[in-house]
Amino acid sequence: MMHHIRRILTTLGVLTSHPAAFMVVFIYVGAWLAVSPASFGWPAVATVATWLMTLIIQRAEHRDTQAIHAKLDELLRVEGRARSELTELDDEEPEVIKERRLRERRAPEHSLQPSAPPS
């Protein structure tokens, strides 16, 4: 059950970073103004502004995260000693990634030693 809830929350987070999320807010505001323009006062303006700022922040964070992932994927691709399964972590839930990081931290240090530079 918790797995499904986590998957839904992750998907919702990704969807809120999509430009269509802004259209949903604008359609909602348009419908509100069409149905009950008198109730659209300063509290409603503040609520909509909060929603829009949340979407802007979510979009910026998602963009930054995707850029970091692309850069790390490229580093993993060009580094011959890197494990290819690390590139698949993007598809995992945050809890799975956290557990993976904890396991990696407990791994013996000798597995992280760099090899000799090429001659």
- Cα–Cα distances in Å, from 40 out to 21, 27, 44, 47, 113? 21, 14, 5, 10, 62
Per the structure, the complete domain to which residue 92 belongs is given by 40-105
Say how many domains are in the chain. 1
Residue 17 lies in a domain: no
pTM (predicted TM-score): 0.67
Residue 84 has a pLDDT of 73
Residue 28 lies in a domain: no
Q: Give the per-residue SS3 of 57-109.
A: HHHHHHHHHHHHHHHHHHHHHHCCCCCHHHHHHHHCCHHHHHHHHHHHHHCCH
- Asked if residue 116 has pLDDT above 60, the reply is no
Instruction: Quote the CA–CA distance of 14 and 28 in Å, as a whole number.
Output: 20
Residue 110 has a pLDDT of 46
**Residue 100 corresponds to which tokens in the numbers above?**
């993976």
